[in-house]
Amino acid sequence: MEKFSDVLTKEQILAATEEVLRRFGIAKTSVIDVANVLNVSHGTIYRHFKSKAELLEGATKKWLDEKIIEPLTDVCHNTTLDGPEHLKTYIRTLIELKQHYACEDEELFKMYAKVTDEATDLIHKHISEVTDQICEIITRGGIKSEDPLQLAHAIFHATTRFHHPAHAYEWRSPMIHNEFLDVWALIEKGNLYENPR
Amino acid sequence: MEKFSDVLTKEQILAATEEVLRRFGIAKTSVIDVANVLNVSHGTIYRHFKSKAELLEGATKKWLDEKIIEPLTDVCHNTTLDGPEHLKTYIRTLIELKQHYACEDEELFKMYAKVTDEATDLIHKHISEVTDQICEIITRGGIKSEDPLQLAHAIFHATTRFHHPAHAYEWRSPMIHNEFLDVWALIEKGNLYENPR
């Protein structure tokens, strides 16, 4: 019966978890369902993941790495872009990816939203990867700043409404893209003291 | 038995609803509990509010008006403040009020978070009141802008993480105040093109 149990990898278990999540949703997904897909006992799964919560975290990490971090890394390392324009492309890509998957991969996006709400270390690590890349773009693009990592965090926080999963309900608005452009204009060259905007 | 039914006002029903919500929480609050507090039948409540959802919306509106809009209106009309400093004080007050009530009036804050998530007209109206006041401060303070209302929305959106109830879980961080100051610096005199920050 346990035909894969000896060679079963974490990667295979997570791929099966994704499949089950897309089919049944978070609430109805159980460790037993995942075991059934792989044709192993649930004990085999528990040898790799201590609980359903840990399994969901593993699946969220895989999903964030593949769907969000990989394409963002390409933008970060794109040498045809530079300075504020590079930064804007990076943030716009982050926003477009989140908004795309909120519609197109609804069940896995909901899982990510749930894990975010529980403020796990995994999410803190994901955010650090993004802010480190923003920092890299700031430094490489010669954007002047006394503290590039602090500026990276401020830019990430100021654009929260457009990429944090708790705001997915606002992304259906036809105004959302223009609202981002207005916030970006404020970040890019906002000055409440002098310049007319 | 129905001693108040003839003279019962919406205001009295909403005050009783607040009392019941603070005692039992949203999930366990029923129209019958509210009726019991007022010593009337639940039919009397239904004459004023068609459903529990409508009762919760009414209580949320009262709570937002009293706890958030009233003190913000005082800041908006404070003639000792002016320009960007006035704007910062207004946004800081908005943030402090939300963060205060998230801790100190937990059950009613949760109700407000729930109603926000359902994106009702009531919340859109509440946001308009805030952005109209921000716009008033921009115009009165001589902050240059081609479109003061658009700038008001951009400032409101860029500070979302610090006042939107979905982020209450992040407000417990000891960094939250400094993170707001960094975002404010970006809004106030951010310039990714030239000035060192």
Cα–Cα distance measured from residue A66 to residue B105, given in angstroms and rounded to the nearest whole number? 41
Query: For testing the chain B interface, which of A192, A193, A194 should be mutated: the one with the most B CBs within 10 Å?
Result: A192
A176 in Cβ contact with A103 (< 8 Å): no
Both structure tokens of B22: 């603070």
B38's CB contacts (< 8 A; 6+ apart) are B4, B8, B12, B13, B16, B44, B45
Chain A contact for B148 (CB, 8 A cutoff) = no
Report the 10 Å Cβ neighbour count for A143: 21
Assembly ipTM: 0.91
Chain B residue with Cα closest to A116: B169
B158 and B134 in contact (C-beta within 8 Å)? Answer: no
Distance CA A24, CA A9 (A): 23
Which residue from A128, A90, A142, A108 is spatially nearest to A24, judged by alpha carbons?
A: A108
Using the CB atoms, write b or e for B110-140: b if 16+ within 10 Å: bbbbebbeeeeebbeebeeebbebbbbbbeb
> B82-111: per-residue pLDDT in tens?
999 999 999 999 999 999 999 999 999 999
With CB atoms and an 8 Å threshold, state whether A188 touches B183. no
> For chain B, which domains are there?
1-50 (1.10.10.60), 57-189 (1.10.357.10)
pLDDT digit string (tens) for chain A, length 197 residues: 445 546 789 999 999 999 999 999 999 999 999 999 999 999 999 999 999 999 999 999 999 999 999 999 999 999 999 999 999 999 999 999 999 999 999 999 999 999 888 768 999 999 999 999 999 999 999 898 899 999 999 999 999 999 999 999 999 999 999 999 999 999 998 777 764 43
Whether the CB-CB separation of A189 and A182 falls below 8 Å is answered with no
